[in-house]
Amino acid sequence: MNVRVLIDGPSELVFDYAVPTGVSVRAGCRVRVPLRRKHATGTVLAVVEPAQADFGLREVEALIDPEPLVTPALLRMGEWIAGYYGCGIETVIRSLLPEAVRSEENSAKTRRVAVLAKQPDAEAMEKLARRAPRQHVILSILNHAPENRMAVTELGDGANAALKALEKSGLVRIESEEVRRDPEAEGLDEVVGSSPLQLNEGQQAALEAIVQSLETETPAPILLLGVTGSGKTEVYLQAAQAVLDRGKTVLVLVPEISLTPQTVRRFKSRFAAMQDKVAVLHSHLSQGERFDEWHRIRKGQARIVIGARSAVFAPLPDLGLILVDEEHENTYKQESVPRYHGRDVAVLRASFEKCSIVLGSATPSLESWHNTQLKKYQVVRLDQRADGQSMPMVRVVDMRLEATKRKGGPAMLSDKLRSALEQRLEKGEQSILFLNRRGFARSLQCPQCGHVCQCPHCAVALTYHRSDERLVCHVCGHQAIVPRKCPECKDPAIILQGYGTQKVEEVLAKVLPTAKIARIDADAMRRKHALRDTLNAFKSHKIDVLIGTQMIAKGLHFPNVTLVGILNADLGLHIPDFRAGERTFQLITQVAGRAGRGDLEGEVIVQTFTPHSPSIQFARRHDFDGFSEQEMEFRRQFGFPPFGHCAVLTARSNHERRAEFTLQTLHLRLKEDLPSGITLGEVLPSPLVRAHGQYRFQITLRSRQARPLTRHVQAVLAKTPLPEDVTVVFDMDAQSFS
């Protein structure tokens, strides 16, 4: 018997090796093999029949783990990802088996534990009290400790000598036990158990649909379309309970790592009796934490796994249900190789594992919505809020009219929003202001010569951050000192243009001097647990007004919030991306959903310079059906997703002409023997033409079917030599075109 082994490392080396007699190796196992004059580790991709050859194969040296670390279903899924997204199998294996698991340098953390081996009689204890008081104390402690065992470090300094004597006498036994490195140990407060809530009619119907799918051999994915505040989380929790009762496991995906702690808290609260059965997986874990969590999951010690997109590869046995929360979020798309979409891979895994999957959102992606129309997905709707409250009233403020009221340009806060904030403050209610732009000012510009301070590495203006007194690039992170005069014409009258969350915070402190104000963005939340602490303070009403970016747009439940202000709804509306309208609609709807989630009615004020935009008008009426109908018609006419697949081929290099020439060469070769049904765009500069010091050019490709497009591009790339300083990236089902 031979095995095909993928060697660990940056290159995709795959070799066949013979298996020594008496050794059982299966696909997915980790092995140590000889490679030239060295040794290497690798993953068994397949067990193959010996082929007739004039030479003998070298043998596998050792089996690192007798059990496969990658299940057949996950291996099959990895091969699908490699073929669909046009990437190497090695990059996919790196996702299936994180570095913390593949590296032999990582291991379980252990500690020495003292265990009471036998109970000494009263006479022996009396002798020890006189002759060896330290041994007497240790025996007394172990006698009253849970399970008569305690960590050696907890017995105090100087306990080692006494323990050696007790071990020699047979009274105490020293053992070694694994210690879990809990990633949530510091981040979570003490969890208070909760009981299942009474479901309303819509929630009960949704739960029954999920439970019914658990009994189906090949269940169809379920799209849970529930308005904000409709109680989707309660449906998730009760569905998870039904799965656990059947002896199966649950995988919960959230769109951002920052949303993981609150999801963990909700699940641990509901399943308080089995808190140690909840595991967390995401890229912010330390190597040790990831090692422990991954192996707990593989061994079946964890029955619920919660994490961001990479958790879709969690090695859960007996998978019964996958829950994808906020399935519309583009953060489920991986921006580095392999460029998979977490939601789509989750649907694929559910198909391979024959388990149920629920995609939940108040504003589903049009791709998922289209699948419900094709009857590929089952749709379940929650059209009412769980508490019976009506959806918040949304008012649209035309900022063009506000600009005419004032001299010196448009205002940051309209009169209507300012008045509403003052009223909420008087009533003791809370407000949220949303602006998806951090920093103090968008740019620094000279009014005389028009010079704008630009990033030397990217084609974007530097953003002024007052808290650090620095100009910062939000693409590459470059920082510069704020000039006192124009770098070009030396005029001292250089001025700030636009505004960000820092400036909003400063202005609001002047407008509402008695209000307690806090800001949530990537700058303010640098400290560990800063987000958790700020949200806890807001929940306990220590903060009156919360200002934030998209970090506060979803998943938050604050019953005392009655006002949400969206300061500039146009920020993402006019970018060169066919999904711009969809994302604006989703963002406004999600942010608006933070208001009126308690007993008090909510109000949302949307400030915009394009009040008649369909995205804003449909969001104002909470009308997903109306928006999707109009947007789908636009997509159908131009063949955009969901009526086809859209991919981007990007070339980037430090040399502008070389990047462009390389892509032009690829364009000519792609044009030759172009399969029917594929639309090939022209070579164009990327919307962000320079980033991280590299010039970028791109080609957009569209096709009704993904596989022929991927195969054609990969075939051309395989036979086209590229300059050393040019990188070409293929992104199937691209979510970003910048």
Question: Tens of pLDDT along 130-179?
Answer: 888 888 888 888 988 888 888 888 888 778 888 888 888 888 899 888 88
Closest to 501 (Cα-Cα) out of 477, 476, 465, 460: 465
Residue 690: predicted pLDDT: 95
Give every CB contact of residue 490 below 8 A, 6+ residues apart in sequence.
none
* 532 closest CA partner among 323, 265, 270: 265
Cβ-count burial of 689 within 10 angstroms (0-12 exposed, 13-18 middle, 19+ buried)?
middle
Q: Report percent pLDDT > 90 for the chain.
A: 59
Written as six digits, the tokens of 141 are: 């402690």
When the pLDDT of each residue in the chain is averaged and rounded to a whole number, the result is 90
Confidence class for position 671, pLDDT limits 50, 70, 90:
very high
Nearest alpha carbon to residue 27 among 2, 10, 50:
2
Question: 483 — phi, psi (to 5°)?
Answer: -70, 145
Q: Based on the number of CB atoms within 10 Å of its own CB, is 477 exposed (0-12), middle (13-18) or buried (19 or more)?
A: exposed
**Residue that is written with structure tokens 């700058």 in the block:** 523
Each residue's pLDDT tens digit, 552-594? 877 677 889 999 999 999 988 888 899 999 999 999 999 998 8
Peptide bond into 255 cis (omega under 30): no
Q: Tell me what pLDDT residue 121 has.
A: 83
Q: CB–CB of 30/3 below 8 Å?
A: no
The CA distances from residue 115 to 124, 149, 381, 402, 675, in Å, are 18, 4, 56, 75, 71
Q: State both tokens at 605.
A: 């004020």
> Which sign does the torsion angle of CA 455, 461, 466, 467 carry?
negative
Q: What is the mean pLDDT of residues 643-652?
A: 96
Angle at 316 between CA 216 and CA 271, to 5 degrees: 85
Q: How many CA atoms lie within 13 A of 149 on its CB side?
A: 11
Give the confidence band of 286 by pLDDT, cuts at 50, 70, 90: confident
**What's the mean pLDDT in 647-669?**
96
Would the pLDDT of 410 be above 70?
no
> Does position 405 have pLDDT exceeding 80, yes or no?
no
Q: How many residues are recorded in the chain?
A: 738
Per DSSP, the residues of 519-575 read EESTTTT-STTHHHHHHHHHHTTS-SEEEESGGGSSS---TTEEEEEES-TTTTTSS
Rounded to the nearest 10 degrees, what angle do helices 72-85 and 342-353 cross at? 140
Q: Provide the strand spans (E) within 129-221.
A: 149-151, 172-178
User: Given the structure tokens 């489920």, which residue do they identify?
Assistant: 332
In this structure, are strands 684-691 and 517-520 parallel, antiparallel, or unpaired? unpaired
pLDDT digits (tens, 9 = 90+) for 544-555: 999 999 888 776
Residues 104 and 39: their CA atoms lie apart, in Å, by 13
Helix (H, G, I), strand (E, B) or coil at 342: helix
Question: What distance in Å separates the CA atoms of residue 616 and residue 140, rounded to the nearest whole number?
Answer: 71
The Cα 125–Cα 128 span in angstroms is 5
Residue 416 has pLDDT above 90, yes or no: yes
Instruction: Give the span between the Cα atoms of 566 and 571, in whole angstroms.
Output: 11
Q: Is pTM beyond 0.75 here?
A: yes
DSSP state of 256: S
State whether residue 33 is helix, strand or coil.
strand
| Contact (Cβ atoms closer than 8 angstroms) between residue 451 and residue 486 | yes
